[in-house]
Structure 1
């Protein structure tokens, strides 16, 4: 009975609304990201973090030595759509608390899940190069956002996520995939345009939300612990699928959007609505 009560408490914490102040919403819309403290409790992160970690190591297929990997492969172990692999992972991914924050930041009536992904940067893992996520998404509207959820505190030596403030407003570098080239090109371009880079640690329970076109990166993990992060990508529930503009968007259209016709909305089976007013 006690275990059931504890689980019910965790589920309630995943669903109860988070108080999002107007300043945080304004900051997100101006800068393309926001970091929010005390969004998830240590108990929630511990319980679901263990489940997610077990799934990552169960499903991971990247076993090459670090020195034999590409820059992208050195950045992290990446496991997608855990919600379709495990019922308890689904409870976490479908959190109404987290989905409502996404809807409120974007100013939309509701959000669907695009997909989730665990991003585990191993000890000695390399940088995550500068990039914008929406390069990969065949979505007509910029109303798409990623929540980045550390499953432990992330000091600087573990490579926290860094953001180029306001970069979602300019159409630069939107045709570059995540790579050594994107790191070099965008580093120079963002510096020339005097974008302020926000790069700070994450406390336990702190999460960030960043817009699809916000440029971001992460440093290497020089610690002796894996940097464990879970992410979910949300889109406006009325998002429209657009004609893919590169091979990555073509793959996403098939894999994460069930190849539904261009010009239509995503379907509920693969992209269910997680929160709606």
Structure 2
């Protein structure tokens, strides 16, 4: 193993120092934008491999102008960890999973799935939506890391949030679409949720809860906006009966598990457990 690879491996296991109020702030706001989550060296180590896998596994081949709103938003490639060991190292990072557990206020988190989201140059908006619409899960103790693999100024369309919107139940029946963009844009304005949009420095990452409304602007730059995401579940969460066709489809991320069970499957390993971490300290 090279000195760089060894350094990155050590970083992926090193605890990130959350503030004393981080869990309460996350519960109040529904999201957190954190600095220095990974070093520039770590980002540089992973970005070429993630990008190479996105190019290799991408199934979207229509020209941008021939796609609908969702297709123009990004190239979406899920579960890269199953295809590449280097990406697996990133997805299975105890550092990142430990942040998710700390923000959610749970002792352990398991993997739901990862996905790369690459917004191409001239790529369109990502409509307002809430991720948990898609998830047949028993609680809202779920969050997603949004990890850009480059500096992400406003012109590239960084992820933006409606502060506190995870406590607002209207609009939860909407999949990501032109309809969700219009309806949730109105709801955010009417409810006076603060719209938080910020650039991301290299190494920054955000975490957001499953019911937090979020969206992203178009990519006005000449470079792709390269982002890796991982969805973390409370390790004790259970599968519930799907309430829409998308949730039925999402049962595939938890193969072999049945309704009412904890999704303790090879595809959904526990990535961080504070009790084990304390025992090994």
Measure how far apart 1:26 and its partner are: 2.2
8 A Cα contact 2:256 2:265, kept in partner: no
Query: What's 2:52 paired with?
Result: 54
**Superimposed CA distance per residue, residues 233-275 of structure 1 (whole angstroms, 9 cap, x where no aligned partner):** 000000100000000000000x201152100000230100000
Query: What's 1:26 paired with?
Result: 24
Measure how far apart 1:22 and its partner are: 1.7
Q: Secondary structure at the match of 1:209?
A: strand
Measure how far apart 1:28 and its partner are: 1.0
Question: How does 1:113-152 map onto structure 2 within 5 Å?
Answer: 113-152=111-150
Q: Secondary structure at the match of 1:105?
A: helix
Partners of 1:39 and 1:260 in 2: CA distance: 32
Measure how far apart 1:4 and its partner are: 2.2
Query: What's 1:273 paired with?
Result: 270
Question: How does 1:1-277 map onto structure 2 within 5 Å?
Answer: 4-253=2-251, 255-277=252-274
Measure how far apart 1:67 and its partner are: 1.0
211-220 vs 261-270, which moves further: 261-270
**Superimposed CA distance per residue, residues 185-211 of structure 1 (whole angstroms, 9 cap, x where no aligned partner):** 110111111111101110111100000
Q: Secondary structure at the match of 2:2?
A: helix
Partners of 2:240 and 2:16 in 1: CA distance: 32
Q: Secondary structure at the match of 2:28?
A: helix
Name structure 2 gaps, 5 residues minimum.
275-281
Measure how far apart 1:98 and its partner are: 0.3
Partners of 1:239 and 1:21 in 2: CA distance: 25
Measure how far apart 1:230 and its partner are: 0.2
CA RMSD of aligned residues (A): 0.8
Distance 1:165 1:8, change over 3 A: same
8 A Cα contact 2:30 2:209, kept in partner: yes
Partners of 1:4 and 1:66 in 2: CA distance: 40
TM-score (norm 2): 0.96
Aligned length, in residue pairs:
274
**Superimposed CA distance per residue, residues 17-74 of structure 1 (whole angstroms, 9 cap, x where no aligned partner):** 0000123322211010000001100111011111100000000110101111010000
Q: Secondary structure at the match of 1:185?
A: helix
Name structure 1 gaps, 5 residues minimum.
none
